[in-house]
């Protein structure tokens, strides 16, 4: 039996019942070790490392984790048991899944995720202390931009824009800590406006207009907490009124 303090260059396996560490595979060199089972702090299987074991289970160096088929799953840099620096993740096929950076075991800096089938960028953005900050982008399989959103402290907080695969703007809204605020505008794939709706705390509150694909006004009304209130008017594709009605609070309660 060996404890973490007795030897530094050893792979350990925790004996849960006795709360001790078992000497699994003493290393012959100070620059390369192999972990054949789990460490007390973190489960790591079939991992090969160019680092060394220091003070119990705290490693400094590079850890590589593998799939059952032998393909590399993760390659990460550690300093005293914490992720520090570049980290790469892979699909079981061997293709790159994600590149990111860590500081004190939390994602910090730019990250990029890739699609397995094409290798095109799937998503990218910035992290600070493990949380999304700034503009985050995601893409269609073709590589065309699909959505870009502004985040603060992991919350959707700012402008959000969604696009059709042809590059045409589909929707633009403003968010305040995950809630839609102000006018939210949507568009048809041909570029014509589709709707313009006012939001307060994520609910439709205020004027709303809907349009035909030819750009002519289709409907106009007002909302209070997602319920239609007041005058509702419906137009045909030439802009002529089809009908008009009044919606009151008592109509819904």
What would the pLDDT profile of 37-90 be if each residue is shown by its tens digit? 333 334 333 334 434 444 344 667 888 889 988 899 999 998 877 899 999 999
Q: What is the pLDDT of residue 68?
A: 87
Task: Give CA–CA dist 115/119, Å, rounded.
Answer: 5
Q: Is residue 18 domain-resident?
A: no
The structure tokens listed for 28 are: 């012959």
Q: Is residue 52 domain-resident?
A: no
Q: Is residue 61 domain-resident?
A: no
> Which CATH number do you get for residue 181?
3.90.930.1
Task: Give CA–CA dist 44/22, Å, rounded.
Answer: 16
List 232's β-bridge partners, or say none.
245
Q: Is residue 99 domain-resident?
A: no
- Residue 250: phi and psi, rounded to 5, are -65, -20
Q: What is the pLDDT of residue 250?
A: 53
Q: Do residues 53 and 10 touch, judged by C-beta distance below 8 A?
A: yes
Q: Is residue 211 domain-resident?
A: yes
Q: Which residues of the chain have pLDDT under 50?
A: 1-57, 252-253
Q: Give the side-chain half-sphere CA count within 13 A for 27.
A: 21
Q: Is residue 204 domain-resident?
A: yes
Q: What is the pLDDT of residue 31?
A: 38
Residue 35's alpha-carbon distances to 24, 65, 163, 210, in angstroms, are 8, 10, 46, 62
- Residue 223: phi and psi, rounded to 5, are -125, 150
Task: Give CA–CA dist 31/9, Å, rounded.
Answer: 9
Please choose, from the candidates 33, 54, 59, 37, the residue with its C-alpha nearest in 3D space to the C-alpha of residue 46: 37
Q: Is residue 53 domain-resident?
A: no
User: How do beta strands 193-200 and 169-176 pair?
Assistant: unpaired
Q: What is the dihedral of CA 74, 77, 82, 84, to 10 degrees?
A: -120
Q: What is the pLDDT of residue 19?
A: 32
Q: Is 24 left (phi over 0), alpha (psi -120 to 50) or beta?
A: alpha
- Residue 182: phi and psi, rounded to 5, are 80, -160
- Residue 29: phi and psi, rounded to 5, are -130, 165
Full residue range of the structural domain in which residue 233 is found: 158-253
Q: What is the pLDDT of residue 249?
A: 59
Q: What is the pLDDT of residue 29?
A: 37
Q: How many domains does the chain have?
A: 1
Q: Is residue 225 domain-resident?
A: yes
């Amino acid at each position: 039996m060996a404890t973490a303090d007795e030897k530094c260059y050893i792979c350990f396996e925790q004996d849960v019942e006795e709360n001790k560490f078992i000497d699994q595979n003493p290393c012959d060199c100070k620059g390369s070790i192999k972990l054949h089972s789990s460490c007390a702090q973190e489960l790591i299987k079939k991992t090969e490392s160019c680092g060394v074991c220091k003070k119990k289970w705290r490693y400094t160096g590079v850890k590589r984790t593998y799939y059952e088929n032998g393909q590399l799953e993760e390659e990460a840099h550690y300093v005293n048991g914490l992720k520090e620096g570049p980290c790469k993740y892979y699909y079981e096929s061997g293709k790159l899944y994600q590149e990111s950076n860590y500081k004190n075991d939390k994602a910090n800096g730019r990250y990029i995720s890739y699609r397995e089938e094409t290798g095109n960028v799937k998503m990218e953005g910035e992290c600070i202390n493990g949380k999304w900050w700034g503009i985050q982008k995601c893409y269609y399989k073709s590589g065309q931009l699909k959505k870009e959103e502004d985040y603060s402290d992991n919350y959707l907080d700012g402008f959000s824009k969604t696009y059709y695969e042809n590059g045409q703007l589909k929707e633009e809204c403003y968010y305040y800590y995950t809630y839609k605020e102000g006018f939210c505008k949507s568009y048809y794939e041909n570029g014509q406006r589709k709707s313009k709706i006012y939001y307060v705390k994520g609910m439709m509150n205020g004027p709303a207009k809907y349009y035909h694909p030819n750009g002519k006004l289709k409907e106009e009304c007002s909302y209070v907490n997602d319920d239609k209130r007041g005058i509702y008017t419906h137009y045909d594709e030439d802009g002529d009124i089809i009908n008009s009605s009044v919606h009151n609070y008592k109509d819904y309660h």
